[in-house]
Structures are given as C-alpha cells and as structure tokens.
Amino acid sequence: MKGQILAAFLAEVPKDEENELLKWEALEKEEKEKEDEAVWRLLTDGASSEEGSGAWITSISPEGVKLTYAIRLDFENTNNTAEYEALLAGLRLAKKVKVKHVEANTDSQLVVKRFHGEYEAKDSTMAQYVGRVKEMTKAFKTFKLEYIPRGRNRKSDALSKLASVAFDHLAREVKVEVLTSPSIITEEVATIENTQETWMTPIVKFLKDGVLPEGDWAARKIRVKALQYELIDGELYRMSYLGPSLKCVDNEEARYVVREIHEGICGMHFGPRTVVAKAMNVGFYWPIMYETALEEIKKCDNCQVHAPMTHRHKHPMIPVSTSWPLQKWAIDIIGPFPEGPGGVKYVVVAIDYFTKWVEARPLAKITGEQMKRFVLDNIICRYGLPMELVSDNGVQFAGKPFKPWCE
C-alpha cells in the first residue's frame, strides 16, 4: 500500500520537483554514509590513591566536538583496575550514542598489550576485565586501542586524579557519575527454569489437574497426602493448624535454606533441631527436614574445627556372646542402699548372658566368703557348674577366698 501511494505521488509531482526530491534523497544517503564511516576518538585515564579512585573520559566527535565525562569509583581499586573502568565507561558511552567506529587511546601500556594478547593476564580479576573489554568491542564495526604517552594525555591524567579526590566543583562543566560496583560483575545472567520433577510434582498435578499416579496404592497415598497441602498462586503450601501455611521447597532450595540459617549473615551454627525449627518459623517446609539439615551441617568447616569434641580414644565394641543357657554369668555388687531389716544394705546380682535370667541376694556385708556362698547356693546348686564368671575384678572376686575356690 505504501509503495502504491509513493508511486502515485511521484507520478503527480512535476519533473523539476521530482529531480529536487531525488537530489535530497542522494544528499541524505551521502550524509548517512559519512555518519556510518565517522570515527570517534576516546581518551581515557584512571587513577587510584588513598583518598579515592576516579576515571576520566574525553570523547571527540568527527566534527571535533569534545565531551568530558568524570567518574568517581566508590569501591576498592588499584591503578590498573581504574584504567580498565575508565576504558569500559568510555565504551559504554560510545555504545549509548550508537557509534560504529571507535579509536580509543590510553596511557596504560599494560592495558593495551593485554588487549592485543602481547601480555597475559595472570590475575583472575584482570582476566575478567580483559574479557569484558573484548566483549564490549563486538558492538562496534571497527575498534582500535592504541597507547599514547602520558605527556600527550596530561589533561585526562590530571582530571582523573582530581576526580579521585573530589569533583563537586566540576559538575558545572563536566558530566559526573558515581560508580558503586565494578564493571565485571554487571554481566547478564540467563535464568534457567528447573523442569526436573521433585517430591511436590505428584501433589501439584493432583491439586491442579486431578492427575493421579499409576497404581492403586500410589494413587491412594497421594489423595491422603494432598489433604495437607494447598495451591496459592500456583505455588504449593503445606497447611498449618496454628500458624500460617508453609511454602514447600525442593531439595536444592532446602539445602540453600539450611545453609543460610546455619552459617548465613545471622547464622549461629545451630544444630539440626534448631535449624529445622527456625526454617519452619520463617515459613518453609520439605519432607525430610531433619535429615537434610544434619547432612548440610556435617559439611560445615567451622563446625568441624570449633565444635566441642571428646579427645578420648575410641575403641571398637567387643560383643560378649555365649552358645547355650547358663554357660556364662555376669556378677556384680550394687549399693549401699538405705539399711533394711537385718542390717542389709547391699545386693549381689548375677545375670545369665544367654537367657538374661537374674539371681540376686541382699547382704549386710560384702566379703569374699559371702560371694562364694552366693555362687554356690544360687548358681551351682540350682543350675550346675558354669564355664565363666565375668566381674569387674573387685576385691571380693579377684582375691581370697573366692578366686582359689573358683579354680
């Protein structure tokens, strides 16, 4: 439709006006080609001192118009990182005004040689800055980075040092800006939706669409479990009797919640029970809360180093076994107790290892003779001669007359 209207318009325009129209189109095309081929120059410099850090950019248009731009860097810097911040700020400025050909100049030989690959950036921070510069230069058709001696860049050098100290009085003539974070951490992050099935998936499907898993037992289990949950704005929540509904999270989110509560900004390195209680108080829920908390707390380095520990040597447990009843007996003395009739205040006890049968007798005195009398009357005369007697090697069992009598 536009083409037909334009053709009808040109058919009605007189010859002279048509020639004039074509002439204007040719001039406009020529101006656009000149604009596309125009080269912008950037003079950048950065400085860092104890009083602060600053950067200075001077952009020169093809017509020779100079634009001055100052930046105060409100984060920890070195001279090298300040030089990179100045260069990146200049590239962002050129990209904003849709420049296609850029020629940048800096008095930092290190920045230029690292960009051209002559020097290697061994520090990870410097490597990130070099990568960020190369990534931003892809927005231009042509880009050239050259080194100029400091003598030819005195104005930018002096202004960058001035901007690093204070630049309130410069705002009348120069555009000033405060950069609060490094340029290398402003990269875009692609959000990836987690489509993996979790423990919540069957419940959500049933509450949303009425879909049940295969099998009678599995379907019945989901029906019963779904009575405790509800969907709020598409999110699954567990209903609570006395408090608000708890937001359900998957295993990955649950581990993050445990780490934040246990060792986050306000974390006090609590145990698993306290972590689970705090997680429910802030409104989160997942089925195996205690197990997840215990697993994550075991990975905490600070808890491994600073937690109270017993330094006693651990010995493996030695099980005491027996093959048949009344073969092996354990014997010991307990007391003293409050005195009873006849002055008795001790009890001698024997337990069979196999049947756990107990024989006991109250005593007024605990001597070796009394132990011999107890074993003879309560064990040998009733059940026969045992193969072993296990004691704590007390005086009554390890000395006379009990030990020689046993032999």
What does the pLDDT look like over 142-157, one tens digit per residue?
888 888 886 665 555 5
- The domain 201-302 is placed in CATH, from the list 1.10.340.70, 1.10.274.10, 3.60.15.10, 3.30.70.2080, at 1.10.340.70
pLDDT of amino acid 33: 64
Distance CA 221, CA 253 (A): 25
- Tell me the CATH architecture of domain 37-185: 2-Layer Sandwich (3.30)
Stretch 82-91: mean pLDDT: 84
Other Cβ atoms closer than 10 A to 284: 20
132: closest CA among 191, 181, 82, 87? 87
How many Cα atoms are found within 13 Å in the side-chain-facing hemisphere of 216? Answer: 0
Give bridge partners of residue 179 from the DSSP assignment. Answer: 73
Q: How confident is the model at residue 248 (pLDDT cuts 50, 70, 90)?
A: very high
pLDDT of amino acid 161: 54
Q: How confident is the model at residue 227 (pLDDT cuts 50, 70, 90)?
A: very high
Q: Looking at 123-220, which runs of residues are DSSP E strands?
A: 142-147, 175-179
pLDDT of amino acid 192: 46
For residues 345 and 375, is the Cβ–Cβ distance under 8 A?
no
Q: What is the CATH number of domain 328-406?
A: 3.30.420.10
Question: Residue 57: pLDDT above 90?
Answer: no
Q: Which of 144-148, 271-275, 350-354 has the lowest mean pLDDT?
A: 144-148
Fold equal for 37-185 and 328-406? yes
For residues 233 and 241, is the Cβ–Cβ distance under 8 A?
no
| Domain residue spans of the chain | 37-185, 201-302, 328-406
Distance CA 177, CA 54 (A): 10
Distance CA 56, CA 45 (A): 5
Q: Looking at 221-357, which runs of residues are DSSP E strands?
A: 229-232, 235-238, 246-248, 284-285, 328-334, 346-352
**Cα 407 to chain center, whole Å?**
68
φ, ψ of residue 109 to 5 degrees: the values are -65, -30
Q: pTM of the entire structure?
A: 0.39
Cis status, amide bond into 401, omega within 30 of 0: yes
φ, ψ of residue 197 to 5 degrees: the values are -75, 140
Q: How confident is the model at residue 171 (pLDDT cuts 50, 70, 90)?
A: very low
Look at 66 and 214; give whichever has higher pLDDT.
Answer: 214
Stretch 75-95: mean pLDDT: 83
Distance CA 286, CA 194 (A): 17
